[in-house]
Structure 1
Amino acid sequence: MKKRQVGKSDLFVTELGLGCMSIGTEEKAARSIIEAALEEGINYFDTADLYDFGDNEQLVGKALKDVREQIIIATKVGNRWHKERTGWSWDPSKAYIKEEVKNSLKRIGTDYIDLYQLHGGTLDDPIDETIEAFEELKAEGFIRYYGLSSIRPNVIREYVKKSSIVSVMMQYSILDRRPEETVLPLLHENGISVVTRGPLAKGLLSDKLLDKASEKGYLDYTLEELQDILPVLKEKVASSRSFTEVALQYNLANPAVASVVAGASSTDQIKRNANAVRSQPLTNEEVRIIKALTKASIYSEHR
């Protein structure tokens, strides 16, 4: 599987990454999904301290222990679980980040984290202090690089100006083209990579199409609009290939994107996603058709 450089770092990630939130909590099943990903050549695994109260990090670390030097582990920080585990609060403080990284390292069973991401962010955060925490962790060898997981353009701009982030994780798909307006060009110009999530738009862009549709629609698409648009997209750009291929290749067609992180709850899903990423890239004409048929939406908040 092809690899792409993450920003200006020396991390080279496969074009498909595994979003580990969906692997479940049963160790045998989770391990089989991760092993299937390894067999397909995937080297990028994304988790978070928030997932399953940290158990997800533990499962990922155990399954990848024997290949630790060959793979890239990304995790996240910033959401602090309440003691009762009934919810969490946002804590981007330096003290919490420097404390929590040690817990993540212990759960994963590793000496270092390849990519440590702030799991959110607002303009009310002590951003300089947050950046200082990540820079110190980098200097101390606990992390190799750091990034941001956010869809807020105003927060992303602050980190582009003030920090040495190498990546931003954000939702991006044919049905969520909001990042194209300003964020993707900004990051590309500054040599910062995008790691995308939600490429299949909750299954709407898989071969199940409208089987996954809700009466509420999706983002700013009504159900009726989806019923109109998806069959036409299928006819125009996916008549001879799977819709999953088109959806993942659309993300990879943007020069800012380093990897598409897709979740999987079965080994079959891993194989389908891997085949989709290995398929033919979209032509410029196919990208043009997709853009002409879908909405060039913009972020209405956090600008």
Structure 2
Amino acid sequence: MDDKSLLSPFSQRYSQAKCRLQEQTLSRIESVETVLNFHTLPRVNNACLAVDRKKEVVGGGHRSIPRPFRTLLKWPTELLDVEITTRRSSHPEQVAGKIRTVALTNFDTERLQIILENGIPVVSNQVQHSIVDMRPQQKMAELCQLTGVKLITYGTVMGGLLSEKFLDTHLSIPFAGPPLNTPSLQKYKRMVDAWGGWSLFQTLLQTLKKVASKHGVSIPTVAVKYILDQTAVAGSMVVVRLGLSEHIQDTNAIFSLVLDEEDVSSILEVSRRGKDLLRVIGDCGDEYRRA
């Protein structure tokens, strides 16, 4: 499969918009002791900064932060190499304490290692990670274990594909299944196609349903718990739409669910039948960088 076929026009427009945002954001950075300089190459990643309360947000237009250590500012970056540039500010008192924490999004293993080797205290990397997409466990998890960086996952329920809604459905037959009516569903359907196709995905859903029924929970609950139990994973983001799909009960059930050895083995057996997405697509975030 052509890697570019995994990217919808929406994703391509999104990448272009992120590049424009990068130019606008980096132009606003002033009087910062340590700045990340990213060489301009056809690679797209994100960097996040957690900033203190009542401090000007570096690279942003906000002037007040309601709580310390809770606001993440992120901008897209295009990089292959990372150059750490130290600047001396004419007003050091304005710089002190401004940057609390650096977090990353969609950095692959190679570039995560580069930024760590340059002494940047990264606390987490936000990556796509699901039972279908196990790429973070193949290379990045080992680096994270060695360095203490935590993984925050997204796409863990694949925009809703990993749910009862799509169990026993035939998307190849017009109007025979739920519509893929969001960019997220369309994106993760392409991931399913790259991994092993809809038939194998149905086998995965059936396996997850058996595990879910055994524990009295839903398929999404099992899917998220399985990923939370993986090496270096500290948290998972589940997108909600207030009044439409809040997932409160499913989310609460994650914390009491314990998957036993039989559960894990049955899920792993199906997962391993799929293609190696690291070979098909590349490392974490490569599907965006190749746009």
Q: Which category describes the TM-score, using the shorter chain as reference length? A: 0.5 to 0.7
- AA aligned to 1:220 is W
Instruction: Establish whether residue 229 from structure 1 lines up as the match of residue 204 from structure 2.
Output: yes
- In 2, the alpha carbon distance for the partners of 1:296 and 1:284 equals 23
Select the residue among 167, 170, 192 that pairs with 2:149: 192
Aligned to 2:136: 179
- In 1, the alpha carbon distance for the partners of 2:155 and 2:86 equals 26
Would the aligned equivalents of 2:109 and 2:143 in 1 still touch at CA under 8 Å?
A: no
Unaligned runs of 5+ in 1: 1-78
Aligned to 1:150: 106
Please report how far the alpha carbon of residue 270 of structure 1 lies from its aligned counterpart in structure 2 after TM superposition.
Answer: 4.2
**Higher Cα Rg: structure 1 or 2?**
2
Please report how far the alpha carbon of residue 143 of structure 1 lies from its aligned counterpart in structure 2 after TM superposition.
Answer: 3.4
The secondary structure found in structure 1 opposite 2:230 is coil
Q: Deviations over 1:95-131 (max 9, x none)?
A: 545596363543x743745364655544435442499
- In 1, the alpha carbon distance for the partners of 2:158 and 2:102 equals 26
Aligned residue pairs: how many?
217
Go from structure 1 to structure 2 and tell me whether the alpha carbon gap of 1:122 and 1:291 turns closer, same or farther (over 3 Å shift).
farther
Please report how far the alpha carbon of residue 225 of structure 1 lies from its aligned counterpart in structure 2 after TM superposition.
Answer: 2.4
Would the aligned equivalents of 1:150 and 1:169 in 2 still touch at CA under 8 Å?
A: yes
Go from structure 1 to structure 2 and tell me whether the alpha carbon gap of 1:188 and 1:179 turns closer, same or farther (over 3 Å shift).
same
Deviates more, 1:95-104 or 1:289-298: 95-104
Aligned to 2:20: 88
Would the aligned equivalents of 1:248 and 1:277 in 2 still touch at CA under 8 Å?
A: yes
Go from structure 1 to structure 2 and tell me whether the alpha carbon gap of 1:276 and 1:117 turns closer, same or farther (over 3 Å shift).
farther
- In 2, the alpha carbon distance for the partners of 1:92 and 1:194 equals 28
Aligned to 2:276: 297
- In 2, the alpha carbon distance for the partners of 1:119 and 1:93 equals 7
Would the aligned equivalents of 1:165 and 1:192 in 2 still touch at CA under 8 Å?
A: yes
Select the residue among 220, 223, 247 that pairs with 1:244: 220
- In 2, the alpha carbon distance for the partners of 1:130 and 1:205 equals 45
Please report how far the alpha carbon of residue 177 of structure 1 lies from its aligned counterpart in structure 2 after TM superposition.
Answer: 0.7
Q: Deviations over 1:52-110 (max 9, x none)?
A: xxxxxxxxxxxxxxxxxxxxxxxxxxx9969xxxx83544986545596363543x743
Please report how far the alpha carbon of residue 182 of structure 1 lies from its aligned counterpart in structure 2 after TM superposition.
Answer: 0.8
1:53-64 equivalences under 5 Å are: none
- In 2, the alpha carbon distance for the partners of 1:274 and 1:243 equals 11
Please report how far the alpha carbon of residue 194 of structure 1 lies from its aligned counterpart in structure 2 after TM superposition.
Answer: 0.9
- In 2, the alpha carbon distance for the partners of 1:155 and 1:122 equals 11
Backbone CA RMSD of aligned residues: 3.9
- In 2, the alpha carbon distance for the partners of 1:126 and 1:207 equals 43
Instruction: Establish whether residue 159 from structure 1 lines up as the match of residue 115 from structure 2.
Output: yes
Please report how far the alpha carbon of residue 229 of structure 1 lies from its aligned counterpart in structure 2 after TM superposition.
Answer: 2.8
Aligned to 1:26: none
- AA aligned to 1:248 is V
- AA aligned to 2:20 is W
Go from structure 1 to structure 2 and tell me whether the alpha carbon gap of 1:137 and 1:155 turns closer, same or farther (over 3 Å shift).
farther
